[in-house]
Amino acid sequence: MKPQPKKPTLAINGGPKALTKDAGDIFKWPIVTKADENAVLDVLRRGAMSGTDITKHFEKEYADWMGMKFALGYCNGTESLRAAMWACGLGAGDEMICPSVTYWASCTAALTLGAAVNFAEILPDTLCIDPKDIEHRIGPRTKVIMVVHYCGYPCDMDPIMKIARKHKLKVIEDVSHAHGGRYKGKMLGTMGDIGAMSLMAGKSLAIGEAGIMVTNNRDLYERCVAYGHYERTGLPSNFNAVDRSIFNPALNKFAGLPLGGYKHRMNQTCSAMGREQLKHYDRRMAEIQAAMNRFWDLLDGVPGLKAHRPPANSKSTMGGWYAARGLYRAEELGGLSCEKFCAAVRAEGFGGCSPGANMPLHTHAVFHEADLFNMGKPTMISFGQRDVRQGPGSLPVAESIREIAYSIPWFKHDRPAIIKAHAQAYRKVAEHADEVR
Ligand SMILES: *Cc1c(COP(=O)(O)O)cnc(C)c1O
């Protein structure tokens, strides 16, 4: 008898695909109902797109949802972060510490304030800022620590807040990936001095092109109002009882003009949709968490693959699990590259699997060479800042992001059969890694 040639197992080698069923609407987001449509249409019919009456209701509801005193709506998350930096006193010649792996909007506005960004390392198991890589970066002009709850994972806030209080620094939480997520039971965005976040159409709380900031600090709130909400400077809000008496004389004299020269208000088609989306968010988020936890439970113990989620019973959660990632450990798979692993998963029928996340920012030319103010010098050093620029090799974990992380399906509904089929695609490739190499 002639030996039969071994049939390939993996689809990338011509074997059968793990995933053949149509995914249906399991990935569709946001969930838009008639109520969203009616809310937006009402704004259009009233011609109320540019006002603030609906936005103020949304702000009040958002602040209540987060258990915060103040919320301020923005045209996008990028601007909420710029305003937060300015409100926290970041100015020309200052420094802000920020993780290198994040979306650029977490820190790029610092340059427009004449400040430098001192990039910190991330942890390979959380993909969030490494609290041990913060303190030695603090200099005489450091004003702000920016933390990002990256891909939904809550940053380790306790040591970060301790360092910040010791050195009298402000902490801004970029919550753009983690609306509704919790750290040891506390909602993300409520532990730093300001929480600022995107609410754009791709995020887990998606209301259009919008952003919002929250704080318990009236002074920071008023500074944000003065910076880009010029028509509200010095005015009491009808919706926040606690800010009825807002009259900060130092800022009030600027009323009518935005101190930053920015126009920051939210389009009210977004705030109208936001009011509707917020009503359902906790329930929809809980379903996402059930689905994503189901996916990871199915992959428990598979070599090379590690869940990107806090330990069970830690009271820390992943919020809406935005930009969901898995952790990759090539050494458990005989050195198979993350890139090749992902290509094999795509061949199994899930096209959304790719290596990495956001590319590290500390090596980007904007933070080395860009001269925003035409001063004949890179902005990172043109206002007398220390030169904190860092080249390749300085933050090895951040620089290895394409080898340690990959995208996974972001399920919006907890449907066991389809989730199981997706988990099977990842499991199959990991268990047959030798066939890929
Ligand atoms: C999306 C995002 C932002 C920017 O928000 P926009 O609404 O797109 O301006 C900021 N930070 C992070 C981490 C983001 O993912």
For ligand 1, the distance from its centroid to the CA atom of residue 188, given in whole angstroms, is: 15
d(CA 49, CA 111): 31
Q: What is the mean pLDDT of residues 232-249?
A: 65
Write the pLDDT tens digit of every residue in 45-61.
999 999 999 999 999 99
For ligand 1, the distance from its centroid to the CA atom of residue 104, given in whole angstroms, is: 8
Write the pLDDT tens digit of every residue in 143-198.
999 999 999 999 999 999 999 999 999 999 999 999 999 999 999 999 999 999 99
Q: Which residues are CB-neighbours of 400 under 8 A, at least 6 positions away? A: 124
Instruction: Quickly state the pLDDT bin for 235 (edges 50, 70, 90).
Output: confident
For residue 211, the ligand 1 atom closest to its alpha carbon is: 7
**Burial letters 378-395, b for 16+ CB under 10 A, else e:** bbbebbebeebbbeeeeb
Q: What is the mean pLDDT of residues 340-349?
A: 98
Ligand 1 atom 6: residue of nearest CA: 77
Residue 210 has pLDDT above 70, yes or no: yes
Residue 246 has pLDDT above 70, yes or no: no
Write the pLDDT tens digit of every residue in 284-329.
999 999 999 999 999 999 999 999 999 999 999 999 999 999 999 9
Q: What is the mean pLDDT of the chain?
A: 95
For ligand 1, the distance from its centroid to the CA atom of residue 416, given in whole angstroms, is: 31
For ligand 1, the distance from its centroid to the CA atom of residue 5, given in whole angstroms, is: 52
Instruction: Quickly state the pLDDT bin for 251 (edges 50, 70, 90).
Output: confident
For ligand 1, the distance from its centroid to the CA atom of residue 401, given in whole angstroms, is: 19
Mutate to test the pocket of ligand 1, among 103, 205, 207, 209 (most ligand atoms within 8 A of CB): 103
Mutate to test the pocket of ligand 1, among 98, 106, 179 (most ligand atoms within 8 A of CB): 106
For residue 105, the ligand 1 atom closest to its alpha carbon is: 10
Residue 110 has pLDDT above 80, yes or no: yes
Q: Which residue is associated with the tokens 């968010």?
A: 281
Contact 188, 178 (CB under 8 A): yes
For residue 78, the ligand 1 atom closest to its alpha carbon is: 9
Q: What is the mean pLDDT of residues 390-408?
A: 98
Structural domains in the chain, sorted by start: 11-31+280-357+400-436 (3.90.1150.10), 34-275 (3.40.640.10)
Instruction: Quickly state the pLDDT bin for 6 (edges 50, 70, 90).
Output: confident
Residue 239 has pLDDT above 60, yes or no: no
Q: What is the mean pLDDT of residues 397-421?
A: 98
Mutate to test the pocket of ligand 1, among 148, 151, 200, 262 (most ligand atoms within 8 A of CB): 200
Residue 241 has pLDDT above 80, yes or no: no
d(CA 227, CA 112): 14
- What pTM value is reported for the model? 0.97
Residue 243 has pLDDT above 90, yes or no: no
Ligand 1: lining residues by beta carbon, under 6 Å: 76-78, 81, 102-103, 105-106, 148, 174, 176-177, 198, 200, 211
Contact 251, 222 (CB under 8 A): yes
Residue 15 has pLDDT above 80, yes or no: yes
Q: Which residues are CB-neighbours of 86 under 8 A, at least 6 positions away? A: 113, 223, 227, 260
d(CA 3, CA 340): 30
For ligand 1, the distance from its centroid to the CA atom of residue 59, given in whole angstroms, is: 19
Instruction: Quickly state the pLDDT bin for 248 (edges 50, 70, 90).
Output: confident
Q: What is the mean pLDDT of residues 129-141?
A: 98
For ligand 1, the distance from its centroid to the CA atom of residue 178, given in whole angstroms, is: 11
For residue 200, the ligand 1 atom closest to its alpha carbon is: 7
